[in-house]
Amino acid sequence: MKRLLLTFIFAALGQSPALANPYNVLVIQTDEHHFKTLGCYGGKIVGTPNIDWIARHGALATSFYATTPVCSPSRGALISGCYPQYTQVTNNNIPLGDHVVTFAEVLRRKGYKTGYAGKWHLDGLGKPQWAPERKFGFDDNRYMFNRGHWKKFEITGAGPRVAAIKRGKPSYGVENADNKTFSTDWLANRTIDFINLNKAEPFCYMVCFPDPHGPNTVRKPYDKMYKNVKVPIPVSVNKSRAQTPRWGAASPRITADTVRMLMPSYYGMVKCLDDNIGRILDALRKNGQIDNTVIVFTSDHGDLCGEHGRLNKGVPYEGSARVPFLFYCPGKIPAGTVVNQALSCVDFVPTLFALTGDEPPKGVEGRDASALFRGSKTKWDDIAFIRSTSGVKPWLAAVTDRYKLIYSALGDPWLYDLKTDPDELNNKFTNPDSEKVVRRLTVKLAVYAKRQNDPYAADPKIKADMAQALGQAQ
């Protein structure tokens, strides 16, 4: 009788029972962000108190990996819970398949107000291409642009546009950008506007900041804030050829001086991000929404920032593939939780919906890791699978909290012991004491490849190396 009465009350109020006091969902994603620049991940140079607040009052995942460490495939995996070979986004600039159902679409169907601001990179080659026609559940996508690392925006009578123009075309210029027009501030303002507009009803919003992806430029005063800092030089910037796999060849142009030149502006971009995330959190507090909003902070992939003599991403090194992942869910995730088990982008959607009590879309390939984030005892297979982009000599990797096993069409297999070798300098694959680890991870990688129909496992070199590790004749 009580349930029937509640149903009548909800109907009178114009609400479904499922929407009674639901969580809001806010996903904050940065671009090409090295996790070690954040205080909660041990960063010492940039103060990031606002991002750290999310970690301190929620959970921090220490071993969260981009399913493919480049923009488009990682983004597609995060919003869908599916591997790139399912979403069809196996490399940058490939459109997301029409069949994909995102977490936002699930919540939109439930009655949520949904929206998106910032870089999308899932609709092909359009640049900037505001408000892509296919919304994938993000109803208010006026401030979504398909791709580009623009630094300055404005709103005109015809809608948003890039405010930096060079030779009549949008440019990445940052000249005269301020706290209203600089991309990070501008996108934070759009996010705050959406939050304020939806104080009284459940919302789902995703904001994807294009920083700290290059170009390494930022508005005043952040541009000079770290100009005199002593930049730490990665141990791996200069290493021997024997310590370098063929898939991870260094660039001779990247030296310690390169790192010293590039990082001050990178730090400035991170500081600007943290300040603006603080403004977003303050809006939630002012509106009384902070205790009823799930907040996720992550990045699409990392940036090597000179590690291994490289910049950017695309390889399975930690600085490229491992990303920050913070999860705040009041009443469900205990404050200060640390999750050490390996996870990847595909695990976000099923975990989110297990915490909010919603059903994930059919076909989700990731795992529900909610027990880990709740701090509950659970049997958990500590492993994640990551893969290269298409169109190159492929690699496949199995990663745990301690080990990383990589099979590549380009060169020998590599095994890193991240506990004893956090800088990833030494290949343990052929060590006799690594045999059990290699076999165990290879078995799991083979099972993944078969279950998820990963074509990389059929590459002749990868297939032969995996078979040899398992003691199988070819």
User: Is residue 342 located within the same domain as residue 439?
Assistant: no
User: Is residue 190 located within the same domain as residue 102?
Assistant: yes
Residue-level pLDDT, tens digit, the chain, 474 residues: 433 333 333 333 334 444 458 999 999 999 999 999 999 999 999 999 999 999 999 999 999 999 999 999 999 999 999 999 999 999 999 999 999 999 999 999 999 999 999 999 999 999 999 999 999 999 999 999 999 999 999 999 999 999 999 999 999 999 999 999 999 999 999 999 999 999 999 999 999 999 999 999 999 999 999 999 999 999 999 999 999 999 999 888 899 999 999 999 999 999 999 999 999 999 999 999 999 999 999 999 999 999 999 999 999 999 999 999 999 999 999 999 999 999 999 999 999 999 999 999 999 999 999 999 999 988 899 999 999 999 889 999 999 999 999 999 999 999 999 999 999 999 999 999 999 999 999 999 999 999 999 999 999 999 999 999 998 755
CA gap 304, 233 in Å, rounded: 12
Determine, yes or no, domain membership for 386. no
What's the CATH code of the domain at 192?
Answer: 3.40.720.10
User: Is residue 284 located within the same domain as residue 407?
Assistant: no
- The model's pLDDT over 120-159, given as tens digits with 9 standing for 90+, comes to 999 999 999 999 999 999 999 999 999 999 999 999 999 9
User: Is residue 314 located within the same domain as residue 402?
Assistant: no
Structure tokens at 331: 């009443």
> Closest by alpha carbon to 138, among 164, 177, 169, 112?
112
User: Is residue 246 located within the same domain as residue 282?
Assistant: yes
User: Is residue 319 located within the same domain as residue 419?
Assistant: no
- The model's pLDDT over 279-320, given as tens digits with 9 standing for 90+, comes to 999 999 999 999 999 999 999 999 999 999 999 999 999 999
> Closest by alpha carbon to 329, among 25, 7, 6, 122?
25
Under a CB-based contact definition with an 8 Å cutoff, are residues 70 and 387 in contact?
A: no
User: Is residue 276 located within the same domain as residue 129?
Assistant: yes
Residue 425 burial class via C-beta count within 10 angstroms: exposed 0-12, middle 13-18, buried 19 and up: middle
Q: Pairing state of beta strands 293-299 and 24-30?
A: parallel
User: Is residue 91 located within the same domain as residue 206?
Assistant: yes
User: Is residue 186 located within the same domain as residue 294?
Assistant: yes
User: Is residue 425 located within the same domain as residue 365?
Assistant: no
Determine, yes or no, domain membership for 235. yes
What's the CATH code of the domain at 402?
Answer: 3.30.1120.10
Determine, yes or no, domain membership for 387. no
Range of the domain at 118: 21-374
Determine, yes or no, domain membership for 304. yes
Q: Pairing state of beta strands 113-119 and 140-145?
A: parallel
Q: Where do the DSSP E strands lie in 66-145?
A: 113-119, 140-145
User: Is residue 409 located within the same domain as residue 361?
Assistant: no
What is the number of domains present in the chain? 2
